[in-house]
Amino acid sequence: MIVCCDMDHTISHAAWRDEHIDWAHTSGDWDQYHALSKDDKPAEQIVNLLIALHNAGHEIYIVTARPRKWLRQTFGWLHKHGVKVDQDHILMRSDNNFRPAVELKQELVSHLNVDLFIEDREDVCSAFASIGVTTLQVRLVS
């Protein structure tokens, strides 16, 4: 089984840094927002789920709208918190790609036969469900 999982607000508690972004206008200091992600607390339930799925032999991919320039930091955070994923299984937007998350994530996984997509955003979950992918929508509680 191929499992894809989002990062911010799904595996990591990112709400504390949302003040750096104006979500309605997709503006703000995105570099600061992503730089601070190194200090995110893990969403233990989702981390434990991914560890269990990995240990059961399922293939795990991280699919995030973070720019690729944050790959090393993202990879380090995942391993620090026990999510064993190969670096080439972290799928990220190119640094100059500003397409909406729904389109971006569908493109990033287009070469995969995804069985389960774990995500916080309703629009992303709906898009994947509409093409026959089972989704698990996450709503983290602080």
Tens of each residue's pLDDT in the chain, 142 residues: 999 999 999 999 999 887 777 655 565 678 888 898 999 999 999 999 999 999 999 999 999 999 999 999 999 999 999 999 999 999 999 988 888 999 999 999 999 999 999 999 999 999 999 999 999 999 998 7
Whether residue 117 contacts residue 136, with contact meaning beta carbons closer than 8 Å, is answered with yes
The pLDDT of residue 106 is 96
Tell me how far apart the alpha carbons of residues 80 and 77 are, in angstroms, rounded to a whole number: 5
The pLDDT of residue 33 is 85
Taking the CB of residue 66, how many other CB atoms lie within 10 A of it?
20
- Going along the chain from its start, the domains and CATH numbers come out as 2-137 (3.40.50.1000)
The pLDDT of residue 65 is 93
Length in residues, the chain? 142
Give the number of C-alpha atoms closer than 13 A to the C-alpha of residue 110, restricted to the C-beta side. Answer: 6
The pLDDT of residue 23 is 57
Whether residue 10 contacts residue 64, with contact meaning beta carbons closer than 8 Å, is answered with no
The pLDDT of residue 48 is 97
